[in-house]
Homo-oligomer: A and B are copies of this chain.
Amino acid sequence: MIIIKVGGGEGINYDAVCDDIAQLWREGQQLIFIHGGSHRTNVVAEALGHPPQFVTSPSGYTSRLTDRAALEIFQMVYCGQINKTLVERLQRRGVNAVGLSGIDGRIWQGPRKNVIKVVENGRTRILRNNYTGTVTQVNYAFLQNLLDAGCLPVLTPPAISFEGEAMNVDGDRAAAATAAAFRAEELLILSNVPGVLRQFPDEASLIPQLHADQIDQVAEAYAQGRMRIKLLGAQEASAQGVRRVVLGDARGQQPILRALDGQGTIITQPQPEMTA
Protein backbone atom coordinates (compact mmCIF):
# COMPACT_ATOMS: atom_id res chain seq x y z
CA MET A 1 0.00 0.00 0.00
CA ILE A 2 1.18 3.47 -0.94
CA ILE A 3 -0.50 6.55 0.51
CA ILE A 4 -0.19 9.60 -1.76
CA LYS A 5 -0.90 13.05 -0.37
CA VAL A 6 -0.85 15.97 -2.80
CA GLY A 7 -1.16 19.45 -1.33
CA GLY A 8 -3.33 22.28 -2.53
CA GLY A 9 -0.78 25.05 -3.05
CA GLU A 10 -0.29 27.01 -6.24
CA GLY A 11 1.39 25.28 -9.18
CA ILE A 12 0.39 21.66 -8.55
CA ASN A 13 0.14 19.70 -11.82
CA TYR A 14 -3.05 17.76 -11.17
CA ASP A 15 -3.15 16.23 -14.65
CA ALA A 16 0.34 14.80 -14.18
CA VAL A 17 -0.63 13.54 -10.70
CA CYS A 18 -3.66 11.75 -12.16
CA ASP A 19 -1.60 10.33 -15.06
CA ASP A 20 0.80 8.76 -12.56
CA ILE A 21 -1.98 7.43 -10.35
CA ALA A 22 -3.66 5.86 -13.40
CA GLN A 23 -0.39 4.18 -14.36
CA LEU A 24 0.15 2.74 -10.86
CA TRP A 25 -3.50 1.65 -10.76
CA ARG A 26 -3.14 -0.22 -14.07
CA GLU A 27 -0.07 -1.96 -12.64
CA GLY A 28 -2.22 -3.22 -9.75
CA GLN A 29 -0.62 -1.09 -7.02
CA GLN A 30 -2.87 -0.59 -3.95
CA LEU A 31 -3.29 3.14 -3.39
CA ILE A 32 -5.12 5.73 -1.36
CA PHE A 33 -5.00 9.30 -2.67
CA ILE A 34 -5.40 12.26 -0.33
CA HIS A 35 -5.52 15.88 -1.47
CA GLY A 36 -5.58 19.42 -0.14
CA GLY A 37 -7.07 22.62 -1.52
CA SER A 38 -5.65 25.60 0.36
CA HIS A 39 -4.91 27.88 -2.59
CA ARG A 40 -8.37 27.49 -4.21
CA THR A 41 -10.01 27.90 -0.80
CA ASN A 42 -8.23 31.22 -0.34
CA VAL A 43 -9.39 32.39 -3.78
CA VAL A 44 -13.03 31.37 -3.21
CA ALA A 45 -13.06 32.74 0.35
CA GLU A 46 -11.84 36.11 -0.97
CA ALA A 47 -14.43 36.08 -3.74
CA LEU A 48 -17.20 35.32 -1.24
CA GLY A 49 -16.12 38.15 1.04
CA HIS A 50 -14.70 35.97 3.85
CA PRO A 51 -10.94 36.42 3.33
CA PRO A 52 -8.88 33.61 4.85
CA GLN A 53 -7.16 34.21 8.17
CA PHE A 54 -4.15 32.28 9.40
CA VAL A 55 -2.94 31.87 12.95
CA THR A 56 0.31 30.68 14.51
CA SER A 57 0.33 28.40 17.54
CA PRO A 58 2.74 28.97 20.48
CA SER A 59 4.78 26.01 19.14
CA GLY A 60 5.16 27.77 15.79
CA TYR A 61 2.71 25.90 13.53
CA THR A 62 0.66 28.01 11.12
CA SER A 63 -2.94 27.00 10.33
CA ARG A 64 -6.18 28.32 8.85
CA LEU A 65 -8.50 30.00 11.34
CA THR A 66 -11.66 27.93 10.94
CA ASP A 67 -14.89 29.39 12.25
CA ARG A 68 -18.16 27.93 10.98
CA ALA A 69 -18.29 30.21 7.91
CA ALA A 70 -14.69 29.35 6.99
CA LEU A 71 -15.44 25.64 7.49
CA GLU A 72 -18.34 25.74 5.03
CA ILE A 73 -16.24 27.48 2.36
CA PHE A 74 -13.43 25.00 3.06
CA GLN A 75 -15.87 22.11 2.50
CA MET A 76 -17.21 23.62 -0.72
CA VAL A 77 -13.74 23.81 -2.22
CA TYR A 78 -12.08 20.68 -0.80
CA CYS A 79 -15.05 18.27 -0.99
CA GLY A 80 -16.93 19.88 -3.88
CA GLN A 81 -14.66 21.49 -6.39
CA ILE A 82 -11.30 19.79 -5.92
CA ASN A 83 -12.36 16.32 -4.82
CA LYS A 84 -14.90 15.94 -7.62
CA THR A 85 -12.68 17.32 -10.38
CA LEU A 86 -9.95 14.87 -9.28
CA VAL A 87 -12.39 11.97 -9.24
CA GLU A 88 -13.61 13.03 -12.69
CA ARG A 89 -10.01 13.20 -14.02
CA LEU A 90 -9.27 9.73 -12.62
CA GLN A 91 -12.51 8.21 -13.90
CA ARG A 92 -11.70 9.59 -17.35
CA ARG A 93 -8.38 7.74 -17.11
CA GLY A 94 -10.12 4.48 -16.27
CA VAL A 95 -9.53 4.57 -12.50
CA ASN A 96 -12.57 3.68 -10.38
CA ALA A 97 -12.12 6.64 -8.05
CA VAL A 98 -14.48 7.32 -5.13
CA GLY A 99 -14.21 10.73 -3.47
CA LEU A 100 -14.92 11.04 0.24
CA SER A 101 -14.22 13.40 3.11
CA GLY A 102 -13.15 12.32 6.57
CA ILE A 103 -16.75 12.92 7.74
CA ASP A 104 -18.18 10.23 5.47
CA GLY A 105 -18.39 6.94 7.29
CA ARG A 106 -16.28 8.63 10.01
CA ILE A 107 -13.17 7.83 7.98
CA TRP A 108 -11.09 10.30 10.00
CA GLN A 109 -12.18 10.83 13.57
CA GLY A 110 -10.62 12.59 16.54
CA PRO A 111 -10.94 15.27 19.20
CA ARG A 112 -12.03 18.77 18.21
CA LYS A 113 -10.03 21.67 19.55
CA ASN A 114 -12.77 24.21 20.17
CA VAL A 115 -10.44 26.60 22.01
CA ILE A 116 -7.00 27.35 20.58
CA LYS A 117 -4.05 29.47 21.67
CA VAL A 118 -2.55 31.72 19.05
CA VAL A 119 0.37 34.09 19.06
CA GLU A 120 -0.21 37.61 17.70
CA ASN A 121 2.48 40.28 17.84
CA GLY A 122 4.32 38.22 20.43
CA ARG A 123 1.29 37.90 22.71
CA THR A 124 -0.68 34.69 23.31
CA ARG A 125 -4.44 34.94 22.84
CA ILE A 126 -7.32 32.45 23.27
CA LEU A 127 -9.72 31.86 20.36
CA ARG A 128 -13.04 30.02 20.72
CA ASN A 129 -15.56 28.41 18.30
CA ASN A 130 -12.78 26.89 16.34
CA TYR A 131 -13.58 23.96 14.03
CA THR A 132 -10.22 22.22 13.95
CA GLY A 133 -8.92 19.02 15.43
CA THR A 134 -6.66 16.03 14.97
CA VAL A 135 -7.24 12.60 13.46
CA THR A 136 -6.67 9.88 16.04
CA GLN A 137 -8.83 7.11 14.51
CA VAL A 138 -8.91 5.96 10.89
CA ASN A 139 -11.83 3.80 9.75
CA TYR A 140 -9.63 1.09 8.29
CA ALA A 141 -12.46 -1.42 7.79
CA PHE A 142 -14.50 1.01 5.69
CA LEU A 143 -11.54 1.95 3.48
CA GLN A 144 -10.45 -1.68 3.10
CA ASN A 145 -13.98 -2.58 2.00
CA LEU A 146 -13.79 0.09 -0.73
CA LEU A 147 -10.38 -1.20 -1.83
CA ASP A 148 -11.68 -4.79 -1.89
CA ALA A 149 -14.55 -3.58 -4.08
CA GLY A 150 -12.01 -2.30 -6.61
CA CYS A 151 -12.24 1.39 -5.75
CA LEU A 152 -9.52 3.99 -5.33
CA PRO A 153 -10.42 6.16 -2.31
CA VAL A 154 -9.78 9.88 -2.93
CA LEU A 155 -9.85 11.46 0.52
CA THR A 156 -9.94 15.03 1.74
CA PRO A 157 -10.42 16.96 4.99
CA PRO A 158 -12.54 17.84 6.91
CA ALA A 159 -12.59 15.07 9.51
CA ILE A 160 -15.26 14.46 12.14
CA SER A 161 -15.08 15.03 15.88
CA PHE A 162 -16.12 12.40 18.40
CA GLU A 163 -19.26 14.54 18.89
CA GLY A 164 -20.04 14.38 15.16
CA GLU A 165 -18.93 17.86 14.09
CA ALA A 166 -17.04 18.53 10.88
CA MET A 167 -13.60 19.89 11.68
CA ASN A 168 -10.62 21.07 9.69
CA VAL A 169 -7.59 18.83 10.13
CA ASP A 170 -4.15 18.96 8.65
CA GLY A 171 -4.14 16.84 5.49
CA ASP A 172 -0.50 15.78 5.84
CA ARG A 173 -1.04 14.46 9.35
CA ALA A 174 -4.32 12.81 8.29
CA ALA A 175 -2.34 11.12 5.50
CA ALA A 176 0.25 10.01 8.07
CA ALA A 177 -2.49 8.52 10.28
CA THR A 178 -3.93 6.72 7.25
CA ALA A 179 -0.51 5.35 6.26
CA ALA A 180 -0.02 4.13 9.83
CA ALA A 181 -3.47 2.46 9.91
CA PHE A 182 -2.62 0.55 6.72
CA ARG A 183 0.99 -0.16 7.72
CA ALA A 184 1.79 1.33 4.29
CA GLU A 185 5.22 0.69 2.83
CA GLU A 186 5.39 4.22 1.67
CA LEU A 187 3.88 7.66 2.24
CA LEU A 188 4.39 10.38 -0.37
CA ILE A 189 3.69 13.97 0.71
CA LEU A 190 3.91 16.16 -2.37
CA SER A 191 3.56 19.93 -2.55
CA ASN A 192 4.87 22.88 -4.57
CA VAL A 193 8.45 22.73 -3.25
CA PRO A 194 11.07 20.04 -3.98
CA GLY A 195 11.32 18.85 -0.35
CA VAL A 196 13.02 20.18 2.77
CA LEU A 197 15.34 23.05 1.87
CA ARG A 198 18.34 24.07 3.95
CA GLN A 199 17.96 27.62 2.67
CA PHE A 200 14.37 28.29 1.67
CA PRO A 201 13.56 29.13 -1.16
CA ASP A 202 16.86 27.99 -2.74
CA GLU A 203 15.85 24.72 -4.39
CA ALA A 204 19.51 23.70 -4.76
CA SER A 205 19.68 23.42 -0.97
CA LEU A 206 17.41 20.33 -0.90
CA ILE A 207 18.13 17.86 1.89
CA PRO A 208 17.91 14.53 0.00
CA GLN A 209 17.85 12.14 2.92
CA LEU A 210 17.01 12.05 6.61
CA HIS A 211 16.52 9.48 9.31
CA ALA A 212 13.30 9.88 11.27
CA ASP A 213 15.22 10.62 14.48
CA GLN A 214 16.76 13.69 12.83
CA ILE A 215 13.39 15.30 12.05
CA ASP A 216 13.11 17.47 15.17
CA GLN A 217 16.54 18.93 14.62
CA VAL A 218 15.94 19.59 10.90
CA ALA A 219 12.50 21.10 11.51
CA GLU A 220 13.98 23.43 14.10
CA ALA A 221 16.95 24.45 11.96
CA TYR A 222 15.54 24.70 8.44
CA ALA A 223 11.82 24.15 7.97
CA GLN A 224 9.63 27.08 6.93
CA GLY A 225 5.85 27.47 7.20
CA ARG A 226 3.93 24.45 5.98
CA MET A 227 7.08 22.26 5.80
CA ARG A 228 7.13 22.02 9.59
CA ILE A 229 3.75 20.25 9.57
CA LYS A 230 4.82 17.96 6.73
CA LEU A 231 7.84 16.94 8.80
CA LEU A 232 5.58 16.37 11.79
CA GLY A 233 3.40 14.12 9.60
CA ALA A 234 6.48 12.25 8.40
CA GLN A 235 7.60 11.82 11.99
CA GLU A 236 4.22 10.49 13.10
CA ALA A 237 4.09 8.03 10.18
CA SER A 238 7.66 6.84 10.83
CA ALA A 239 7.00 6.38 14.53
CA GLN A 240 4.08 4.10 13.61
CA GLY A 241 6.15 1.93 11.29
CA VAL A 242 5.89 3.49 7.82
CA ARG A 243 9.27 2.59 6.37
CA ARG A 244 9.72 5.37 3.85
CA VAL A 245 8.25 8.87 3.60
CA VAL A 246 9.09 11.09 0.64
CA LEU A 247 8.51 14.84 0.76
CA GLY A 248 8.41 15.61 -2.95
CA ASP A 249 7.37 18.03 -5.67
CA ALA A 250 3.98 17.92 -7.42
CA ARG A 251 4.84 20.51 -10.04
CA GLY A 252 6.03 19.32 -13.45
CA GLN A 253 5.66 15.91 -15.10
CA GLN A 254 5.56 12.49 -13.39
CA PRO A 255 5.46 13.92 -9.87
CA ILE A 256 4.48 10.64 -8.20
CA LEU A 257 6.81 8.42 -10.22
CA ARG A 258 9.67 10.82 -9.48
CA ALA A 259 8.92 10.72 -5.75
CA LEU A 260 8.75 6.92 -5.80
CA ASP A 261 12.11 7.06 -7.56
CA GLY A 262 13.50 8.96 -4.59
CA GLN A 263 13.38 12.57 -5.78
CA GLY A 264 12.70 14.87 -2.84
CA THR A 265 13.56 14.46 0.80
CA ILE A 266 13.49 10.77 1.72
CA ILE A 267 12.83 9.94 5.35
CA THR A 268 13.62 6.43 6.53
CA GLN A 269 13.70 4.66 9.86
CA PRO A 270 16.79 5.36 11.97
CA GLN A 271 19.66 2.92 11.38
CA PRO A 272 19.51 0.09 13.93
CA GLU A 273 22.33 0.13 16.50
CA MET A 274 25.09 -2.32 15.65
CA THR A 275 24.93 -5.28 17.98
CA ALA A 276 28.08 -7.00 19.18
Chain A residues near B (Cβ < 8 Å) = 44, 47-49, 72, 75-81, 83-85, 87-88, 91-93, 96-101, 103-106, 142, 145, 149, 151, 158, 160, 163-166
Contact = CB atoms under 8 A, between A and B. Distances in A.
Nearest to A90: B164
Contacts of A101: 84, 87, 99
B72 A81 contact: yes
A64 to B, nearest CB: 16
Contacts of A97: 104-105
A103 B91 contact: yes
B98 A105 contact: yes
Contacts of A104: 87, 97-100
23 contacts: A44-B48, A47-B48, A75-B80, A77-B80, A78-B80, A79-B79, A79-B83, A79-B99, A80-B81, A80-B83, A84-B158, A84-B166, A85-B166, A87-B103, A88-B160, A88-B164, A91-B106, A91-B164, A92-B164, A93-B164, A96-B105, A97-B104, A142-B151
B84 A79 contact: yes
Given A80-B75, A92-B165, A98 B100 contact: yes
A43 to B, nearest CB: 10
Contact of A145 (B44, B149, B165): B149
Contacts of A145: 145, 149
Given A78-B80, A99-B103, 18 more contacts: A72-B81, A75-B80, A75-B84, A76-B76, A76-B77, A79-B79, A79-B83, A80-B80, A80-B81, A88-B160, A88-B164, A91-B164, A92-B163, A96-B105, A98-B105, A99-B100, A100-B104, A142-B151
